Amino acid sequence: MSKVVDIGNLRITRDARTHRPGECAHRHIHLDNNGGVVTCAHCKATLSHFWALSMLSGQYELALENIARLTKRLSLADERIAAMSAQAETNQIRSKDAPKSDDQGID
């Protein structure tokens, strides 16, 4: 699909960018329950319902990925703690079972 549409003397250009540098990212939205209007709480711009839903679903997906990554890190940390605890217990048992040297001096 072309980004430029010519209709007689009228020329329409489509801009697919979702965020322009220096503009508000619209991450804090306000939902008006009575009027069904979605606005940005920062810049007060009226937002498309579809855009807001799309942005929220993208943020939700990022949050789920973050939770999965943190859960994996937590699981790896638990495994390391268990291995270190087992090693510490082994070392304690070995030190208790090791023959004690006779520290008495020569008479």
User: For the whole model, what pTM was predicted?
Assistant: 0.56
Residue 39: which H helix or E strand, with range? Answer: strand 37-40
Strand 46-47 and strand 10-13: the pairing is unpaired
Task: Tell me which residue has tokens 């004690």.
Answer: 100
Per-residue pLDDT of the chain (107 residues; tens, 9 = 90+): 456 666 777 777 776 666 666 688 888 999 998 888 999 998 888 999 999 999 999 999 999 999 999 999 999 999 999 999 999 999 888 888 777 665 555 55
Backbone angles phi, psi at 10, to 5 degrees: -90, 135
pLDDT of residue 1: 47
pLDDT of residue 49: 92
Helices (runs of H) and strands (runs of E) counted in the chain:
1, 5
